A and B are shown apart, each in its own frame.
Chain A
Amino acid sequence: MHVPDGFLDAPTSIATAAAAATAIGLALRGARRELDERVAPLAGLVATFVFATQMINFPVAGGTSGHLMGGALAAVLVGPYTGILCLTVVLGVQAMLFADGGITALGTNVVLMGVVTVVVGYAVARAVQLVLPRRLPMVAVAAALGAIASVLASAAVFVGLYSAGGAVPIPLDTLLTAMLGVHTLIGVGEAVITFLVVASIVSVRPDLVHLARPVLVTRELETRLVAA
């Protein structure tokens, strides 16, 4: 769920907006390294993809369904900097064109769902990759662990922001347990879906997956004479 207007007080909203702006500034600089001058068209299409995947419903049980948040997925697919830009743009478009998430809470939403999920998701996936065998199928496993960590981190940061500027008196320990409890379930779903999506891409076009680059075996083109 996107944070609406009026959920956090004005000072907290402004502070998170400043934090989001700083992160976006860094991401803009870093994205040039990940995608060189192709940044705009490619990041635009990846942002569109993230938006579209959020529309894909994964049925859970009894008519309920969930969807992907996509922060860790974007980070694993296109790298952390481009991932932050993609998620920021998705959240901005959702706030301004679809009224999903408050406009004053845009900074908060970018921090929670764009920056924290991407950074934590990528860092954890990278760390897991160091431990696991350096093989291509392991990329999806690393992505899945990154995904569950990203969801939990996002929920924890939300509770932190809430303790600073929440407009509703809810006991913090109750909130923290409730948020982490619910988000463990959501995180498991996010991890499974991220695993499935990354595994399917790695099996077809591993060269497109940013996290797969270190383990990708580069094969030189050889020309050989074959006996007739």
Chain B
Amino acid sequence: MGAPHGHRLHFHGHSPLHRAPAHLKVAGLVAFMLVVVATPVPWVPAFVGYAGVLAVLVALSGVPVPYLARRMVIETPVLVFAALLPFIAVGPRTEVLGLSLSEAGLVAAGGLVMKATLGVVASLLLAATTDPRDLLAGLERLRVPAQLVQIMGFMIRYLDVVTDELRRMRTAMESRGFTARDPRHWPVIGRSAGALFIRSFERGERVHLAMISRGYDGSVRR
């Protein structure tokens, strides 16, 4: 259990970006994204510049572009929403391919897509180049309350254990011929979620007892 295991988005490497202190990377990400968000949408050259900065950082990190691109599916709901904006926004309308679209909505959708995409790429780059343990230490240096960092540490450490438990429960149900197709199957899934909570909570109690037996007194030591 003590062995460090990277999360699914971490891409092992030794680039300058991997070696940079985590607290600087987190602070840099927040500062960069605040600048991006505060930039007015019509300043397109500025966004080209931001994208250029990110492209240089990606190249520097040695993280393969397809690796990042595959993980960008997380942005899909945002893109769907952006596609709806020109239809629901108000203001003067314009004709595009025979559709009546709101001009302000088009601009806003463009801005949302640009800013959200920059945010997703920048965050993915942080995740890909930062080991979770370094990230936690970095957050602590950034004065994030120690207890919050500790909770996050436990969550990251047991993420794979609990999701594996969930997968085993699903395998067990499927091997007995269960496939969830419609809301009639919700009680079964709900019960397995309940069982997962009991197992997670009891695991937490066991972990806590194990820690006490090793001298834990509520504070973290590294």
CB within 8 Å of B: which residues of A?
1, 4-7, 9-10, 13-14, 24-25, 28, 31, 37-49, 51-53, 55-61, 68, 77, 85-86, 88-90, 92-93, 95-100, 102-104, 167-171, 174, 178, 192-193, 195-201, 204-205, 208
**Cβ B29 vs Cβ A168 within 8 A:** no
Q: Which residues of A contact B122 (CB under 8 A)?
A: 103
Report the Cα distance A68→B194, complex, angstroms. Answer: 13
CB-nearest residue of chain B to A36: B218
Known: A4-B78, A6-B37, A103-B123. A93 touches B204 (CB 8 A): no
With A49-B200, A200-B190, A201-B194 given, name 5 new contacts (CB 8 A): A5-B36, A6-B115, A45-B204, A170-B85, A174-B88
Q: Mark B165-203, 1 if CB is under 8 A from A, else 0.
A: 110000000000000111101110111111111101101
Q: Which of B11-19, B51-59, B144-152 contacts A (4 or more CB under 8 A)?
A: B144-152
**Cβ A44 vs Cβ B155 within 8 A:** yes
Q: Is B83 an interface residue (CB 8 A)?
A: no
Contact of B108 among A14, A99, A167, A178 (CB under 8 A): A167
A-B contacts, 11 listed (Cβ < 8 Å) = A7-B112, A45-B162, A46-B200, A48-B155, A52-B196, A89-B148, A99-B9, A104-B34, A167-B111, A178-B88, A193-B190
**Cβ A169 vs Cβ B89 within 8 A:** yes
Q: Is B114 an interface residue (CB 8 A)?
A: yes
**Cβ A59 vs Cβ B151 within 8 A:** no
**Cβ B127 vs Cβ A97 within 8 A:** yes
Q: Which 7 A-B pairs have the closest CB atoms?
A: A44-B154, A6-B115, A196-B190, A5-B119, A200-B194, A45-B204, A168-B108
Q: Which residues of B contact A170 (CB under 8 A)?
A: 85, 88-90, 105
**Cβ A10 vs Cβ B154 within 8 A:** no
Q: Which of A40, A86, A204: most chain B CB closer than 10 A?
A: A40
Report the Cα distance A45→B150, complex, angstroms. Answer: 11
Report the Cα distance A171→B105, complex, angstroms. Answer: 11
Report the Cα distance A90→B156, complex, angstroms. Answer: 10
**Cβ B33 vs Cβ A168 within 8 A:** no
Known: A43-B151, A55-B163, A168-B85. A48 touches B200 (CB 8 A): yes
**Cβ A45 vs Cβ B85 within 8 A:** no
**Cβ A96 vs Cβ B135 within 8 A:** yes
**Cβ B158 vs Cβ A205 within 8 A:** no
Q: Which residues of A contact B182 (CB under 8 A)?
A: 59-61
CB-nearest residue of chain B to A85: B151
**Cβ B153 vs Cβ A60 within 8 A:** no
